[in-house]
């Protein structure tokens, strides 16, 4: 039930094909104080080897509605299908988020982003079930505490996403290009707005080259996507980090970008420069870094959760030892810890 294909069994699984069934089931379980794990795409989740001794609620509501200036998608709708539908309808804005696995309901929770665009920038409102009161209501983005790959929804089970509304561009053009790699792939200029179909195709090509588009026959895609977030180093600590990089690597160009609270560094760059190459620790390992992209930790077919977690600790501790930067995991963990 997860894209990593690890984790122990679920004691009970409840499939919820509509929003009303989902609301009724969660209200019932919460009233009875039964441990509940909400699960949709399972693309950003690591479940421990002991599994989950409660009820796994599968979010399977999948309706998508397109309007001239916005799209409404229920939480269980496959995210890339939502993006594909908007692009096919000549609506722009979501194309840079093409190919991201998982469900629509998870996108505001993680404030999913890629190639210079975050869901938060396109979010119009979110339909939430308040699990403390049982009330379902629409909430504005300002109430979600959206940040880099995070929100208040990520750190609390008090609310469940039922649906989202996203702003789209009726002119069929995408968001202004901001990400250097994508700009180069499109042979364009930063700030250009190109047809969403053209941008989507380029994004999918880039993601496939990194093993970031799900393929059951490719173990490089048996992952949770990017396992670590790009670290934001506070201004007061940056000089020490840069000194550690220079001590280890010499006078090299360090990819860095302005961010709220400091400077954002590339987690993938730090991982590689700390000595972790693509495919680490080797072809016989059951869990290893993707052979295409060092930011993805992959199951080669026989891994357990603890194998993935041990690899994550190895990489995290190695980067911290080399550069004094502690990488933070992006996936949610259940019944386990890194």
**Measured between alpha carbons, how far is 40 from 199 in angstroms, rounded to an integer?**
27
Task: Give 24-75 pLDDT, tens digit per residue.
Answer: 999 999 999 999 999 999 999 999 999 999 999 999 999 999 998 999 999 9
**Measured between alpha carbons, how far is 312 from 223 in angstroms, rounded to an integer?**
12
Task: Give 169-215 pLDDT, tens digit per residue.
Answer: 999 999 999 999 999 999 999 999 999 999 999 999 999 999 988 88
> For 141, what's the count of Cα atoms within 13 Å in the CB-facing half-sphere?
19
Mean pLDDT of 268-273: 98
Mean pLDDT of 259-265: 93
DSSP-derived secondary structure for 48-91: -TT-EEEEEEEE----EEE-SSEEEEETTSBHHHHHHHHHHTT-
Paired tokens of 197: 């179909």
CB distance 297 to 286 below 8 Å: no
Q: Catalytic residue numbers?
A: 149, 226, 330
Check residue 68 and give its pLDDT. Answer: 85
**Measured between alpha carbons, how far is 102 from 76 in angstroms, rounded to an integer?**
9
**Does residue 260 carry a pLDDT above 90?**
no
**Does residue 250 carry a pLDDT above 90?**
yes
**Measured between alpha carbons, how far is 266 from 150 in angstroms, rounded to an integer?**
17
Q: Is the pTM of this model over 0.85?
A: yes
**Measured between alpha carbons, how far is 327 from 229 in angstroms, rounded to an integer?**
7
Query: What phi, psi does 215 have (nearest 5°)?
Result: -145, 110
- What b-and-e string marks burial along 96-105, b requiring 16 or more CB atoms within 10 Å of the CB? bbbbbbbbbb
CB distance 126 to 161 below 8 Å: yes
**Does residue 134 carry a pLDDT above 90?**
yes
The one-character DSSP state at 186 is: T
In terms of C-beta density within 10 A (0-12 exposed, 13-18 middle, 19 or more buried), how is residue 69 classed? exposed
Domain 64-209 annotated CATH 3.30.465.10: yes
**Measured between alpha carbons, how far is 169 from 337 in angstroms, rounded to an integer?**
41
**Residue-level length of the chain:** 338
Query: What phi, psi does 302 have (nearest 5°)?
Result: -130, 15
CB distance 231 to 325 below 8 Å: yes
Please state the domain extents for the chain.
Answer: 10-59, 64-209, 219-331
Domain 219-331 annotated CATH 3.90.78.10: yes
**Measured between alpha carbons, how far is 59 from 163 in angstroms, rounded to an integer?**
11
Q: Does the N-terminal peptide bond of residue 261 adopt cis geometry, omega within 30 degrees of 0?
A: no
Return the CATH number of the domain spanning residue range 10-59. 3.30.43.10
Check residue 99 and give its pLDDT. Answer: 96
Task: Provide the pLDDT confidence category of residue 154 given band limits of 50, 70 and 90.
Answer: very high
What's the mean per-residue pLDDT of the chain? 96
Mean pLDDT of 101-119: 96
Residue with tokens 């053209």: 198
* Measured CA distances, 290 to 91, 195, 293 (Å): 33, 31, 5
5 backbone φψ class: left, alpha, beta (φ>0; ψ -120 to 50):
left
């Amino acid at each position: 039930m997860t894209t990593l294909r690890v984790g122990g069994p679920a004691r009970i699984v409840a499939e919820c094909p509509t929003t009303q069934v989902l609301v009724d089931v969660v209200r019932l379980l919460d009233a009875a104080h039964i441990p509940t794990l909400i699960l949709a795409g399972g693309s950003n989740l690591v479940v421990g080897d002991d599994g989950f001794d409660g009820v796994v609620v599968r979010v399977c509501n999948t309706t998508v509605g397109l309007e001239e200036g916005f799209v409404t998608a229920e939480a269980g709708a496959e995210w890339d299908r939502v993006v594909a539908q908007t692009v096919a309808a000549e609506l722009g804005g979501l194309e840079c988020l093409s190919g991201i696995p998982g469900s629509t309901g998870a996108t505001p929770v993680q404030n999913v982003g890629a190639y210079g665009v975050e869901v938060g920038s396109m979010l119009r409102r979110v339909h939430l079930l308040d699990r403390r009161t049982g009330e379902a209501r629409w909430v504005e983005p300002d109430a979600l505490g959206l940040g880099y790959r995070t929100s208040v929804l990520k750190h609390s089970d008090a609310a469940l996403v039922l649906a989202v509304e996203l702003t789209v561009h009726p002119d069929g053009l995408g968001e202004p290009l901001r990400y250097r790699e994508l700009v180069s792939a499109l042979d364009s200029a930063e700030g250009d707005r190109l047809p969403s179909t053209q941008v989507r195709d380029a994004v999918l090509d880039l993601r496939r080259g990194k093993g970031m588009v799900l393929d059951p026959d490719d173990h490089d895609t048996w992952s949770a996507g990017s396992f670590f977030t790009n670290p934001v180093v506070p201004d007061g600590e940056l000089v020490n980090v840069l000194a550690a990089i220079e001590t280890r690597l010499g006078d090299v160009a360090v990819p860095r970008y302005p961010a709220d609270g400091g400077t954002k560094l590339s987690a993938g760059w730090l991982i590689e420069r700390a000595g972790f190459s693509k495919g680490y620790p080797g072809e016989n390992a059951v869990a290893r870094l993707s052979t295409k992209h060092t930011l993805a930790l992959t199951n080669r077919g026989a891994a357990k959760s603890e194998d993935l977690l041990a690899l994550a600790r190895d990489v995290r501790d190695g980067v911290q030892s080399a550069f004094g930067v502690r990488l933070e995991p992006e996936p949610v963990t259940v019944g386990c810890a890194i």
